[in-house]
Amino acid sequence: MKRRIVPHIVQRRELFTLAPEMSIRAAATLMTERRIGAIMVVRDGKLLGILSERDVMTRVVAKHLDPDTTLVGQVMTPEPMTIRPDDTAAKALHLMHERGFRHLPVTDDTGIVAMVSIRDLYAAVQEELEEDIRQRESYMFGSGYGATQ
């Protein structure tokens, strides 16, 4: 079965977003409290960008900018690449690997649906591989393979 981003990898769940006018300190606090590695920057339901931990480190901390006066909109990655809910996990992994992303916003014709992370995809791939191994062992060795008799 080809796993689709929604609902197989991520479900439609509460989305945390930032306004571009929010300070980096406030954004970092929210991301830390929610254990979020990247968060979408949105205005009026429209995806403007994405702010990642890497953005904060390379564009704020490493450049000695003040996180209280630097705004999300100044350092976010604008117009991020997105993936659709019915795209496959393989497509998402390929994009992430090719472009060096760890997070991809998921959008459809109605707007923002979810955010998928490399961690989500690795967990799904591991689950698929384990199931494939179980099925192959069952086929090759019968259902009793590995059972103590």
- At residue 52, the pLDDT reads 96
Q: Is the pTM of this model over 0.75?
A: yes
Determine the Cα–Cα distance for residues 108 and 87; give it in Å rounded to an integer.
Answer: 11
At 1 the pLDDT is 52
- The reported pLDDT for the residue numbered 11 is 67
For residue 51, the model assigns a pLDDT of: 98
Query: Quick one: which H or E segment has residue 80?
Result: none
- Encoded amino acid at 73, one letter: G
| Dist CA 137 CA 146 (whole Å) | 9
Quick one: 68 exposed, middle or buried, by C-beta within 10 A (0-12, 13-18, 19+)?
exposed
Measured distance CA(124)–CA(121) in Å, rounded: 5
Q: Is 11 helix (H, G, I), strand (E, B) or coil?
A: coil
Lowest mean pLDDT among 9-23, 63-77, 93-107, 133-147: 133-147
SS3 category, 9: helix
- pLDDT-wise least confident of 7-11, 47-51, 64-68: 7-11
Distance CA(102)–CA(86), nearest Å, equals 19
Q: State yes or no: pLDDT of 105 exceeds 70.
A: yes
Q: What is the CATH number of domain 16-140?
A: 3.10.580.10
Both structure tokens of 113: 């649906």
What's the pLDDT at 58?
97
